[in-house]
Chain A
Amino acid sequence: MAVLDRPAGAGRPHVVASPPGTGVEAPLPDRVLMKGNEAIAEAAIAAGCDAYFGYPITPQAELLEWMARRMPEEGRAFVQAESELAAINMALGAAAAGARVLVSSSSPGISLMAEGMSYMAGSRLPVVLVNVMRGGPGLGSIGASQADYLQATKGHGHGDYRVPVLAPSSIAEAIELVGDAFVLAERYRTPVMILADGILGQAMEPVVPRFRSIPKPTADWILEGAAGRDPRVVRSLHIRPDELEEANEVLQATYAEITAKERRWAGESLDGAEVVVVAYGTAARVARTAVERAREDGLRAGLFRPITLWPFPAPALREAAAGARAVLAVELSAGQLVEDVRLAIEGTVPVFHHGRTGGMVPSPDEVVAAMRKAWAVTPGKAPTRPGTVTPETAPGGVR
């Protein structure tokens, strides 16, 4: 049948009996369409999440709804708490008792959870938090945003702590990163954040509905009853400064190890790129299309996509940008990621920024224009006649 008459690699060779009355053969449903929010939820269930705590907020509501239905089916704990403050502290308690815990919210709700996150970091509790970002500040809008970058990567609550931040740019990648988040959380005894945005949460893409289950490591710190052994203590309070400093040194050693071992990124078309675009999540997808359009027009552009926002893949970015004449950070914010880009580049290459705020998303052509401008106002590695290059005369510029 025509349904399956597709180029090599595009189709799947499974055929089942026709649904009555349709007159076509239907391929096996080996992929299903899932919303990002739903896929993240189901991936957490498959990974072995024991307990979910949350409070509804757009644009992550489907994540909570999915958990409300599926967690009881699996005989696991689902609690829609009375507030975000309650949810995060329930998560703290459940994690201390050894449960594998997921919490999700969107920007204003994450702010409310900041205190609990600081306590969990201080108590060294493995919890996975999902932030499906929306426009801010304040109650903001429900549109997609990346304006919580600094909050996520530089610390939400008080104190010297960091959490690993994973940034998916597709639903398939979000599924992978949910499993990775639980692995990191338990390996390093730390909260881990998945930083998504409203578009990733609301969009549907095909996914193969076979998610990873994550083996649970044995832990010698969980509070499960002290019968027959010495009691254990999980806390962030160390009232003696010397003891608190010692606890901080343990945290800092952990962060150093995470930074050394867990930095992740992806690159496209970086070889010989004159303009290196840096973007994550939804902005990286817009940037990918922009890079393709720019290259079709003769501008040698490449994409550097951080997957871990903390630890930031600074050495890889510095190396990728070494031969470029300009680096352009593209984000759904007024300029947050660009700060880490500048720190990574250390002044070796001019760094530019293009961002939209409030729930607005740049179009690919808008990003192409920003790339041309960055190219035009920077001196090339190869000699160019000074004063002759403008955005209009840059490769692919308006002619």
Chain B
Amino acid sequence: MERSTIFAGFGGQGILFAGRVLAEAAMVEGREVLWIPSYGPEMRGGTASCTVIVADRQIGSPIVDRADHAVVLNPPSMARYTPLVAAEGLLVVNTTLIEAEPGRDDIEVLSVPCTALARRAGDDKLVSVVALGALVGRRRFVEPGSIHAAFTRVLGSKRPDMIALDIAAFDAGYEAGLEEVIA
């Protein structure tokens, strides 16, 4: 088993954090994982992305040309990363900010108002965490309990006050992914 996920959006939407949490969750499950940020000049232009590969064996290419999942939180990210999703892969679209259709009929599209759900959960900066929840709800390639544990590992020493909020946002996204809620 090997699953690659691209997270992409604006800087400030927690893209790198969501990827880090997924990587941490995969690691606590004893699996192989690779997290790689985009660190090029595009970060300074205001967009951010990272790739997380989770596998039960040694990981090869850090460059993903057939993503199993892409999580896109703003319109430029959808335009850029939709073509990289493999056939039958999953595209999680933040419909709060993206009105356009992804324009592919060979992939699964999960439309979730991530920003709105994050706001409802307490902080719209948690938009990536909601999207991560939706992803895991729809394609359960890591256990939600591992994600909960990962929040504690990542935030434990720096922002323990945020753990409960992050878990609530993740759970809201997870429910949306499970129930195929399209708002």
Contact = CB atoms under 8 A, between A and B. Distances in A.
Q: Do chains A and B stick together as partners? A: yes
B81 interface: no
Contact of A19 (B23, B40, B152): B152
25 contacts: A19-B149, A19-B156, A21-B163, A21-B164, A22-B151, A24-B146, A27-B29, A29-B153, A33-B23, A198-B39, A202-B36, A203-B36, A204-B36, A205-B32, A205-B34, A205-B35, A205-B59, A206-B32, A285-B62, A286-B61, A288-B61, A290-B61, A292-B60, A363-B63, A365-B66
Centre residue among A198, A204, A286, A289 by max chain B CB count within 10 A = A204
Contacts of A205: 32-35, 59
A359 interface: yes
A308 B163 CA distance: 45
B109 interface: no
Contact of A203 (B35, B149, B152, B164): B35
Given A11-B30, A22-B167, A142 B149 contact: no
B51 to A, nearest CB: 9
Given A19-B149, A22-B152, A203 B63 contact: no
Contacts, number: 114
Nearest to B142: A3
B63 to A, nearest CB: 5
Interface of B: 20, 23-24, 27-37, 39-41, 56, 59-63, 65-66, 143, 145-146, 148-149, 151-153, 156, 163-164, 167
Nearest to B40: A143
Contacts of A198: 39
A34 to B, nearest CB: 10
Interface in A14-49: 19, 21-24, 26-27, 29, 31, 33
Interface residue tally on A, bucketed by range:
35 or more
B62 A203 contact: yes
A7 interface: yes
